[in-house]
């Protein structure tokens, strides 16, 4: 029998506040009511808001980024009841397509202000900034970062199944301990927060409970994946998600037109609203079958249509775990990766980009971030690969860098 | 005029103790005498010992690994005087070929004992183990890890120019501070060590000085690269190395037939003796030209002949910065990468490999290690990609894992 | 200024006869009136019918293929006036996206009957056959060819600018000579044919003229490309088309969800209706600038998102210019390619496919067809690469082939 | 047990005439005596002369090419007795490595004179020409074709098993018929030729017989492969060769450092002497198992280490079966491929290369030659992909071509 058009399991309304759309939610909690049902084996389309729920506008000021309300983010589509799924199973999700909305052919990349969100390099670059990206089919370019154009490796930033009550309790316990014991003078984790909680179609009592207990959506977490922000989890990928509650309660959102390994600026991908097409399949007792018992993290197989750059057209920047103040850290891949980032900034600055433009680029262009060596005490070594082919001028080390007039990204007013 | 065969700038003797070969050295120090000269623009072959100087044998016991003398390693070939090179320049090294010795067609991968070297997973896997790999042209396989065969991405683990006295002092200062201030109950860095110092052809006085001051070769360091252990720095690659002393004092060694991203078990690549063919070219004032002033780390462009695996033939394992004891760490990519490693072990164990076999594999097969997300507090997310095509049986998640009889790697006697 | 949604330059009606839609046409002739205008530098969407104008249905009989009316095909969208384009220019067309219609997620591959269209292997396989392909995002599969699923490399089969009167006369002359002088007992070329001519919005007089003179759309032709059927001319590609008349008169159509090199069965791609997004740019005097003066064929640069198969996951089948009757031909790559095709059929037959299923597959799966050696008299050598990864069972030569129950493609009634 | 160095099954002497080396031969005939034995499952090295047996010298004149003695070519190494191999089996040969001789780091590409060998474009380019290529590890470059440098995809041009007497008779019959019936005014095939026959260690009587009956080595032939000249049959490849006589009588030779699809100039690869490492394995009854019964052509699986060029860094040139005189041919892929070649010449000529330089390049650089469409009567469509990354200057269509001073290839004296 011929198949017809695919069912759209959730339609979102870009013109309506996210909090008024009951098939969305912004906390991980097993009690968020189902927003719909998907059959085992079914393929559906699911529409998603951008991760800020529309707070960021297509203009030339970063004030919206500076003032973003981070309690009103990550309105995920779902959770879906997956028929037959039970705890111990694995939900195999095939990402068959991801598309921006046809009449909304643009996205944004932002750098949050150090005092409101921050990001990987916020101690060096504390200001808010923004780039708007326009889409031309598979390509994107930005008036805020001239000289760059590339094909997006489009993907969802967030997908996962709801935690069980036990897992949720574990999350709150261990992240609470981090918050209590940290000596860092910055926010290290986000505890449950009743303000602006969106619990889907939950009644008031349940919503209150979810506000008190529900896990924030910012971090990915090992037991379910969640906000994993993996740039290669793109079209054609298969991801194996552990199921922890009856019906799975699968949610998805935070679509990215493109992202670099690390998504370093926090609002770092090219953030979009759009539609994802997924096929779901329940693998009964899958956690035992796949060696995932005990809250093991998801695995995935990438799709076959990643943009291809020849190895010889990439420039790799080494980074070691000696920080920018000359301090030696012990085998710290995070410090090393920050150094690789700074090396890219120093390199590209010579062509006329300002540092905030490069910081934005590092976040959203398809850089390849590798853990190169994590063995030779005390220096972890990371590398970042920068594709030369996305630039309209030659950035190879064999040519002399000439400063071009490359404008600026959008900045926030002081 | 027709070109003739290439000059071999250093020939090593596999049957003679490394310490008796004056064109080798095992410390980074500006006073190690030149072992030879290479013209600007010249292509030469350079022979290298394996990184243990022949301590590890082709047999079925890991006692040699357990008892390895770590003061007698990394006998580098060089240092070479590169004509015209001066501080502030960049030395462009094109790696034109790397080959194991024809009559020595095997290599080894080792796991050091926790009390003698250790490695990335030594708290979980404290014993010494070993695998011998036999080479068949571009392929390798091991009697200690059946079911795996792949083409090597052959490369040098170490290459770099000598530090200046100032840079060397900085290294000793910052690493000394780490040693003094660490709260970890393990060795966090190796201070200068006069025992078994090999200072090339230096006179006794200089040798004594080098023993007292010379930097150990274990870590790579940002100012010159050194032991960077980057698996993709293979045939056809170009690496841009900062020059810090007159004549550059370029050294190379620690050849690897193959390595995974991270080289996690310390002796983790397929370690070989062999010959590297390099072309050197001095870029005058290159550090200023390439944005590398101030001790910036090397950059490189990979060669075009990396083994190709289709994205759809890789399985990726997510890891987050929650450790194996359930403790939440703050944005720690090192912790996350260890979790990705453990996930691979749990996955492959189902097919009949023992954990040490997989730990060895993780170190030397071409796994792809990515910093996926380093933004969503408190969880860094890393991924490890495992190529399915190197296995002789189907390891994809779509088939049921059956335990095979896969023997064991070589273990040390108790 | 933010950009809005893209303009759709032509909308087609799938429920209306193609002949009644005045922005379509089915002949190459300089007098077909403009169907619309595109600015130099503009990006537009263009909707297209499938190449049979809807004659083939989503069912399980190939009678529609057997009885197809080949005078009613290739209703191209256009021709478009490209502002500023003049003879001697080159029209650079960037294919930014190609998509099947959302509510029409299927396509077809057909084998024409030897007496009505035929195809590359029609002397061996004279019957009509058909496969319907269902789309799941970037993937397709067919109930008529089980065991195969792959990502489409979607592209237009036809695009080009109108010929000048001079070029058109040349076409008619040389193809007429072939028709008159051939000794083959088959149709070797299609002369102008007034029946069912669609001349767009032309008046009756012009339409009659176009019917008498207009070039048929079946063959691609060197002077403008046209029906080139190049599988890699997919999303992200840039094609450089010679302009021969004022305003270029650019037309496009015959969209393919996927095709193998050669498109061997004539109706051989996965044929679809859909929408193509193109950006056009006029290169003034481009034919001189790019060495294309004198009716030289188009050149193109592929897009970066082709599905990737590892070389080691392809099986290549050699073919030589000795035909299936044992006759030796002189350096005939066409004969050699047919032998490569037959080798694939013999190989896959062992797994339970019938020959017509394989003939259909050869036409539409992403086989790689190479001219391997065209030098060693008298044997040209070609190869066809068959990707193993599109099959759900293992087809590698290292496993024993077991006959599976793989059904049949749709066949025509006798 | 540790494995030792590989056995070299045949050593050649570059300083001795090929005819005096009894482990070589230059005819395909079942009676050529075995030159050695290889065990089933064994890996061996086999040394090979270059295909002219040393006739071409490293100098700047093409007189040696012009005057080459084509009766003294293709001195193959072998034939080898493969233990246990019998007619009906398949010999699986894994090409584990191919290397030029270390002290012979150069090769040559030649264009034969139209009156002595000729080549694919000899009607347009009748003169003899030559380029010498120097090797730097995996790379090559030529003083005769400046501006080009690339990594070789090294491979044997010829490998195969001996024909049976029946197959040999079939070859002689069908090629004889072609010679007798051709209407072309050129040599279309090479009949048996007693002059300069090299029958290995055969006695005089056998040698005389082989001279009378033995098949010439120029063409590849479907029943055994032979001189297939497939550029991707490189390191890591597995080729499945039909066995027709007891012991297989496997021979190999004609090593190429690099070749383009088509090897169009006859002496078109970068021809070298060197050593190939192969592992042989007999698949009993393999012809039945693999669907190869009845003299079916070999199949192969490429190795994983082909040089990688991003699709977006290739320029493709379309060709159709209308020849350079404007004559329409019917579905002739050979004519189309010649047109694609001519298009490349016209394109590259703009940068300052002369036509013979480009003809040489087309033969030996890694161009990709595709049968794009072989369906749309009367025009076959082929494409040639030209990799931009092998040029030291930018050849993309987006830059203006400037004529450079690019010297000349070696030409023959008049």
The DSSP secondary structure of D235-251, one letter per residue, reads: TT-EEEEE--STTEEEE
In a domain, D2, yes or no: no
Residue B235 to chain A, least CA–CA distance (Å)? 11
| C172 reaches D (C-beta below 8 A) | no
Element spanning A384, H or E: strand A381-387
Spatial distance between the Cα atoms of B166 and B390, rounded to a whole number of angstroms: 46
- Note the helical H segments in D278-317: 286-289
Beta-ladder partners of C280: C93
Predicted confidence (pLDDT) per residue in C197-248, tens digit: 999 999 999 999 999 999 999 999 999 999 999 999 999 999 999 999 999 9
Name the neighbours of C, counting chains with at least 3 Cβ pairs within 8 A: A, B, D
- Judge residue A361's burial from the number of C-beta atoms within 10 Å of its C-beta, 0-12 exposed, 13-18 middle, 19 or more buried: buried
If asked whether residues B282 and B382 sit together in one domain, one would say no
Is D93 in the same domain as D230? yes
Question: Are residue B202 and residue B319 in the same domain, yes or no?
Answer: no
For A96, which DSSP code? E
| Domain finish residue from C253, C272, C301 | C301
What is the β-pairing status of strands A106-111 and A266-272?
Answer: antiparallel
**In tens digits, what is the pLDDT along chain A, a chain of 414 residues?**
456 789 999 999 999 999 999 999 999 999 999 999 999 999 999 999 999 999 999 999 999 999 999 999 999 999 999 999 999 999 999 999 999 999 999 999 999 999 999 999 999 999 999 999 999 999 999 999 999 999 999 999 999 999 999 999 999 999 999 999 999 989 999 999 999 999 999 999 999 999 999 999 999 999 999 999 999 999 999 999 999 999 999 999 999 999 999 999 989 999 999 999 999 999 999 999 999 998 899 999 999 999 999 999 999 999 999 999 999 999 999 999 999 999 999 999 999 999 999 999 999 999 999 999 998 999 999 999 999 999 999 999 999 999 999 999 999 998
| Chain-chain contact of A389 with D312 (C-beta, under 8 angstroms) | yes
Least Cα distance to D88 among D241, D315, D249, D200 occurs for: D241
Set of chain C residues whose Cβ sits within 8 Å of the Cβ of A136 = 43, 94, 96, 277, 279
Smallest CA–CA distance from C223 into chain D, residue: D320
pLDDT of residue B1: 47
Domain total of chain A: 2
Residue-wise burial string across D62-95, b where 16 or more C-beta atoms lie within 10 A, e elsewhere: bebbbebebebbbbbbbbbbbeebeebbbbbbbb
The number of helices, as runs of H, and strands, as runs of E, in chain C is: 6, 22
**What pLDDT shows up at residue B3?**
63
As a whole-number percent, the residues of chain B with pLDDT over 90 amount to 96
* Beta-sheet strands, E only, within C90-207: 90-100, 106-111, 129-136, 139-142, 149-151, 155-161
Q: Are residues A69 and A190 both part of a single domain?
A: yes
Q: Which of D249, D279, D278, D283 is nearest to C397 (CA)?
A: D283
Tokens 């191209």 locate to C76
Q: Which domain holds residue B255?
A: 7-301
Q: Can you tell me the mean pLDDT for B378-385?
A: 96
C211, C156: one domain:
yes
Evaluate if residue B123 carries a pLDDT over 50. Answer: yes
> Does residue D77 lie in a domain region?
yes
Q: Residue B173: CB partners within 8 Å, gap ≥ 6? A: none
The SS3 assignment for C196 reads coil
Cβ-nearest to D138 among B151, B235, B309:
B235
Whether residue A260 is found in the same domain as residue A180: yes
Contact in structure between B341 and B384 (CB atoms under 8 Å): yes
Q: Where are the beta strands (DSSP E) in A23-152?
A: 24-25, 36-38, 43-48, 76-82, 90-100, 106-111, 129-136, 139-142, 149-151
Out of B241, B274, B301, pick the residue that ends a domain. B301
CA-nearest of A101, A86, A3, A114 to A47 is A101
User: B78 to chain C nearest CA, in Å?
Assistant: 39
Chain B residues with beta carbon closer than 8 angstroms to that of C308: 308, 310-312
Chain pair C-D, CB pairs under 8 angstroms: 313
Q: Which of A305, A366, A387 to mutate to test the interface with C (most CBs of C within 10 A)?
A: A305
Secondary structure letter of residue A262 according to DSSP: B
* CATH code for position C104: 2.60.120.580
Mean pLDDT of chain D: 96
Report CB contact under 8 Å: C137, A304: no
Is residue D216 in a domain?
yes
pLDDT in tens, D311-360: 999 999 999 999 999 999 999 999 999 999 999 999 999 999 999 999 99
DSSP code, position B182? -
CA nearest to D234 within chain B: B138
- Across all residues in chain C, what is the average pLDDT? 96
Beta bridge partners of D76: D25
Q: Using alpha carbons, list the distances in angstroms from residue D295 to D157, D159, D252, D289.
A: 20, 16, 19, 14
Q: Are residues B372 and B231 in the same domain?
A: no
C310 touches B308 (CB < 8 A): yes
Closest by Cα among A171, A73, A149, A60 to A108: A60
Q: What CA–CA distances, in Å, run from A321 to A332, A377, B219, B261, B287?
A: 6, 10, 10, 16, 21
Which residue's structure tokens are 């098949």?
A: D215
Q: What is the pLDDT of residue A5?
A: 85
Stretch 302-321 of chain B: residues touching chain D, C-beta under 8 Å: 303-309
> Do B303 and D103 count as a contact with CB atoms less than 8 A apart?
no
d(C-alpha D160, C-alpha D233), whole Å: 13
User: Is A287 part of a structural domain of the chain?
Assistant: yes
Q: Between chain B and chain D, how many beta carbons pairs sit less than 8 Å apart?
A: 97
CA distance D189 to chain C (A): 5
pLDDT(C2) > 60:
no
A226 and A354, same domain (yes or no):
no
Distances (CA, A) of A23 to A80, A123, B180: 9, 38, 56
- CATH number of residue B381's parent domain: 3.10.28.20
Helices (H), A278-395: 286-289, 333-349, 355-364
Q: Nearest C-alpha of chain B: how many angstroms from C152?
A: 14
Min distance D70 CA to chain C CA atoms (Å):
13
Which of D313, D314, D366, D398 should one mutate to test binding to chain A, selecting the residue with the greatest count of A CBs within 10 A? Answer: D313
Positive/negative CA dihedral, C192, C197, C198, C204:
positive
Q: Supply the DSSP string of B363-376, one letter for each residue.
A: HHS--EEEEEE--S
Pairing verdict, β A7-10 and A43-48 = parallel
Q: Do D305 and B306 touch (CB under 8 A)?
A: yes
Statement to judge: residues A274 and A395 lie in one domain: no
Residues A201 and A171 in one domain: yes
Residues 6+ apart with CB under 8 A from D318: C220, C222, C225, C228, C230, C297, C298, C299, C300, D340, D343, D372, D381, D382, D383
Closest CA to C240 of C308, C290, C295: C290
Phi and psi, residue D22, nearest 5°:
-75, -10
- Taking an 8 Å cut-off on Cβ atoms, the answer to whether B400 and A189 are in contact is no
Does a structural domain hold residue C306?
A: no
The Cα of D390 is separated from the nearest Cα of chain B by a number of Å equal to 11
pLDDT for C51 beyond 50: yes
Q: Which residues of B touch D236 (CB under 8 A)?
A: 137-139, 151
Residue C168 token pair: 């058109």
In a domain, A228, yes or no: yes
- The CA distance from C309 to the nearest CA of chain B, in Å, is 5
pLDDT tens-digit readout, A310-334: 999 999 999 999 999 999 999 999 9
**C-alpha triplet B41, B43, B48: angle, nearest 5°:** 130
Q: Are strands B248-256 and B76-82 parallel, antiparallel or unpaired?
A: antiparallel
Neighbours of chain D (3+ CB pairs under 8 A): A, B, C
In a domain, D327, yes or no: yes
Q: Do C137 and A307 touch (CB under 8 A)?
A: no
Q: Which pLDDT score, from 0 to 100, does residue B77 have?
A: 98
Global confidence as pTM:
0.95
Contact A304, B310 (CB under 8 A): yes
Contact C278, C96 (CB under 8 A): yes
Q: How far is C312 from chain D (nearest CA, A)?
A: 5
Domain end point (choices A266, A301, A336): A301
Whether chain B has a CB inside 8 Å of the CB on A83: the answer is no
Chain D positions in Cβ-Cβ contact with residue B257 (cut-off 8 Å): none
CB atoms within 10 A of CB A370: 23
Interface probe for B, chosen from C313, C388, C395 (most Cβ of B below 10 Å), is: C313
In which residue are the tokens 């805020």 written?
A144
B232 — contact with chain D (CB < 8 Å)? no
Q: Report the half-sphere exposure of D87 (CA within 13 A, side-chain side).
A: 12
Whether residue B61 lies within 8 A of chain D, CB to CB, comes out as: no
Confirm whether A306 is domain-assigned.
Answer: no
Confirm whether the ipTM is greater than 0.90. Answer: yes
Give the helix ranges, DSSP H, for A59-164: 63-66
Give dist(CA A219, CA A179) in Å, integer.
14
Chains that touch B (3 or more CB pairs under 8 A): A, C, D
- The reply to whether D365 and D254 lie within a common domain is no
CA distances B390 to B141, B309, B366, B380, D234, Å, are: 10, 9, 9, 29, 18
Question: Is residue C248 domain-shared with residue C381, that is, in the same domain?
Answer: no
Asked if C225 and D318 touch (Cβ cutoff 8 Å), the reply is yes
Question: Please, which residues 182-201 of chain B have a Cβ atom closer than 8 Å to chain C?
Answer: none
| B73-109 core/surface letters (b: 16 or more CB in 10 A; e: else) | bbbbbbbbbbeebeebbbbbbbbbbbbbbbebbbbbb
């Amino acid at each position: 029998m011929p198949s017809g058009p695919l069912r759209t399991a959730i339609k979102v309304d870009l013109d309506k506040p996210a909090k008024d759309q009951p098939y969305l939610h912004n906390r991980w909690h097993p009690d968020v009511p189902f927003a719909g049902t998907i059959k085992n084996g079914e393929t559906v389309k699911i529409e998603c808001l951008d991760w800020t729920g529309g707070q960021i506008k297509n203009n030339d000021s970063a004030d919206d980024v500076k003032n973003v309300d981070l309690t009103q983010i990550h309105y995920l589509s779902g959770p879906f009841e997956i028929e037959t799924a039970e705890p111990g199973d694995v939900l195999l999700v095939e990402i068959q397509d991801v598309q921006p909305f046809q009449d909304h052919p643009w996205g944004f990349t932002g750098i949050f202000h150090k005092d409101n969100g921050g990001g990987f390099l916020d101690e060096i670059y504390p200001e808010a900034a923004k780039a708007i990206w326009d889409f031309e089919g598979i390509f994107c370019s930005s008036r805020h970062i001239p000289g760059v154009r590339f094909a997006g490796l489009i993907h969802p930033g967030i997908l996962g199944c709801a935690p069980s009550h036990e897992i949720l309790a574990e999350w709150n316990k261990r992240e609470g301990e981090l918050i209590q014991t940290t000596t860092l003078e910055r926010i290290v984790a986000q505890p449950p927060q009743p303000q602006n909680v969106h619990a889907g179609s939950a009644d008031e009592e349940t919503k209150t409970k979810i506000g008190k207990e529900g896990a924030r959506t910012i971090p990915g977490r090992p037991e379910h994946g969640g906000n994993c922000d993996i740039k290669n989890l793109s079209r054609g990928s298969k991801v194996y998600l552990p199921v922890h509650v009856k019906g799975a309660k699968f949610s998805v959102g935070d679509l990215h037109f493109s992202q670099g390994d690390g998504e370093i600026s926090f609002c770092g991908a090219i953030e979009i609203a759009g539609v994802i097409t997924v096929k779901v399949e329940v693998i009964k007792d899958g956690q035992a079958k796949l060696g995932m018992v005990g809250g093991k993290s998801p695995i995935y197989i990438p799709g076959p249509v990643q943009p291809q750059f020849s190895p010889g057209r990439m420039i790799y920047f080494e980074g070691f775990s000696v920080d920018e103040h000359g301090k030696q850290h012990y085998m710290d891949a995070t410090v090393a990766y920050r150094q690789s980032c700074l090396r890219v900034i120093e390199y590209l600055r010579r062509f006329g980009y300002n540092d905030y433009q490069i910081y934005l680029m590092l976040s959203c262009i398809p850089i390849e971030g590798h853990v190169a060596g994590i063995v030779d005490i005390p220096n972890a070594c990371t590398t970042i690969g920068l594709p030369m082919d996305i630039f309209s001028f030659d950035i190879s080390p064999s040519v002399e860098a000439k400063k071009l007039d490359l404008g600026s990204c959008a900045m926030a007013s002081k």
